[in-house]
Chain A
Amino acid sequence: MSGDRVTKVLLFISSLTILLLSAGIVISLFGGALPAFREFGFRFITSSAWNPTAGSEEYGAMSFIAGTVITSILALIICIPMAFSTSLFIAEYYKGTRTSGILRSLVDLLAGIPSIVYGFWGFYALRPLLVATGLTDQGFGVFTASLVLAIMIVPYATSLSAEIISMVPAELKEAAYSLGATRREVIFSVVIPSARSGIIASFILALGRALGETMAVTMLIGNANVIPKGLFAPGNTMASVIANQFGEASGLKMSALIAIGLLLFMITALVNYLGKLIIKRFA
């Protein structure tokens, strides 16, 4: 066998393994979720009941779907201005300077901080601040969780957007400058329009991360298994309820948790697919 063939076979085997692994995950999620869907049917998705007491067991995923979607979207809304302006600063205004280099490494550093550390910071530093504003009694709830989530996803959106903004061809910008455009005009009528799809995609990928975030959210959202009644009310997310409850779960409850896992998997896959679609559409 030639070296080329060996490499080809090895690469084929390892990529096939990844394919088989993901298929295996989906199949076992389906298998585990089946009892819950059989018991509750479509109501499992639309119902917000969550009663684990033996004898009157009833499970519905709506509270957690709502919690996940609300916190992630809110985090995205908070994240957009921060990440957008930082990426413009790094990749356009101060491109190639020392300041931009330092800022870029700081952003990458933020991305490397473990979730639990953000949770700690949110619990001991951010929460008392929010309580001091008088907006909330204890500081646990959707808003606090979203705020920390936003800070956690800013680095992802920023470094991706910055990458894409810096890839805008210099000729385009130079052409605009030669026509007498100011720097602001170049940015808003040349750089942003040509990097638009990439920027949007970077925010969608950041949203995908927010959807699955667990530890920091668990520490701050209040873990009440209800649809949040307001911005400062406690709720719970899909990832957080699984992390909290799988340890002592069995039977139907375990199946309900796996079904939530499957739903989360599907929502995340959908969001990532949308991101890819947008990149393809506009690129």
Chain B
Amino acid sequence: MKKQIFILMAAMALLLVSCGGGGSTTGKQKQITLSAAGATFPQPFYNLAFKKYNEAGGPLINYGGIGSGGGIKSLRDQIVDFAATDAYLSDAELAEMPGEVVHIPTCIGAVVIAYNLPGVTDLQLTPELLEGIFLGNIKKWNDPKILAANPGLAVPDMEITVVYRSDGSGTTYIFSDYMSKVSPAWKAQLGTGKALNWPAGIGAKGNPGVSGTISQSQGSIGYIGYEYAFAQKIPMAKVMNSAGLFIEPTLESFTAAAAAEMPADTRVMLTNSPNPAAYPITSFTWIIMYKELAYGKHSSEAAEAAVKTVKWLTGEEAQAIATSVHYAALPQNASLQAAELLRGITYQGLTVLR
């Protein structure tokens, strides 16, 4: 009988040992493993870029697309090497962090207004129309206000179905930040946030859920990340910018939004840019990490690998990857600023990038 108990205990001990391993560097190989988590909006770019970086001899990076909020939480709990977010941290959020956090912009994403209207592919929308449609005040596609902004367009007599994000999301944050800037009614009724109290329409989960619902439902309209509309070939509306021009969503018109002056910590929303060539619903997406990387059991190797990875991400090679998956590259002033911020990151007080 004793033998049986011994075998059982041995089995349990083995189980415990096999569960307990892990850590940021594995013993067998010298390859460094980094973990990162956060926004789903730039995930297609990060997945591809991290894979290529690893193939070129860089560290193995596990990126969990758990949403910006989850990423911020993971960074606060110090369980990731860096996190990604679509909305920069507020002063209150920064104060809650156990250490000073830096924001590194990695690319520019845009939120486009995608729609499914039989026979229509060149819809133009003004901020007033967006407000009316998404607040549920304009209910029909052939509303005179829509016709006035689209002279000569054969808009069918159909009900408008608004599709929004049912999950909390940076995409909703960017769209509502823009709408709050251009529409006082929107600001009063819905405000800015990752999830809103939508007065009309239906919700779908994630960018893929919204784009799938739009492409499957005639008469629908919604906001999604540009790369999703582009990949699924869903028509996107031209949106009137602050200069009164209807701007087509293109990588050039997104980068134009970021050409303006930036604060030193890069915490700025690019929406409703004053640049007449800019598409108005654009935003940086950021990597966030601690300024002092010696915390907990964080090794200096992991710290160095993390900073180098982010530096590479903002460099020319990775920016070309961003463009290939339909995110706009950082303009020069932003990438210079990112490099400057990365030079300020330390491990035990010493600059990591020398």
Contact = CB atoms under 8 A, between A and B. Distances in A.
Interface of A: 1-3, 6, 49-56, 123-124, 127-128, 137-140, 218-219, 222-225, 234, 236, 243-245, 247-250, 253
Contacts of B213: 140
B167 A247 contact: yes
Interface stretch (B65-73, B105-113, B303-311): B65-73
Interface string B146-173: 0000000000000101000011110000
Contacts of A219: 205, 209
A247 B191 contact: no
B202 A123 contact: no
Contacts of A53: 190-193, 196-197
A159 B192 CA distance: 50
Interface residues of B, number: 36
B69 A248 contact: yes
B197 A52 contact: yes
A3 B5 CA distance: 10
Contact of B1 (A1, A128, A137, A139): A1
Interface in B191-210: 191-198, 201-205, 209
**Interface of chain B, helix or strand or loop or mixed?**
loop
B4 A234 contact: no
Interface of B: 1, 4-5, 66-70, 73, 159, 161, 166-169, 190-198, 201-205, 209, 212-213, 216-217, 219-220
Given A54-B193, A224-B201, A218 B166 contact: yes
A166 to B, nearest CB: 40
Contacts of A2: 1
11 contacts: A50-B197, A137-B219, A219-B209, A223-B166, A223-B202, A225-B197, A236-B166, A236-B203, A244-B166, A247-B168, A248-B70
A121 to B, nearest CB: 13
B1 A3 contact: yes
A3 B4 CA distance: 9
B168 A223 contact: no
Contact of A52 (B5, B193, B201): B193
Contacts of A249: 69, 168
Given A222-B202, A243-B205, A248-B195, 12 more contacts: A53-B192, A53-B193, A54-B191, A54-B193, A123-B212, A138-B219, A223-B166, A224-B203, A244-B203, A247-B67, A248-B67, A249-B69
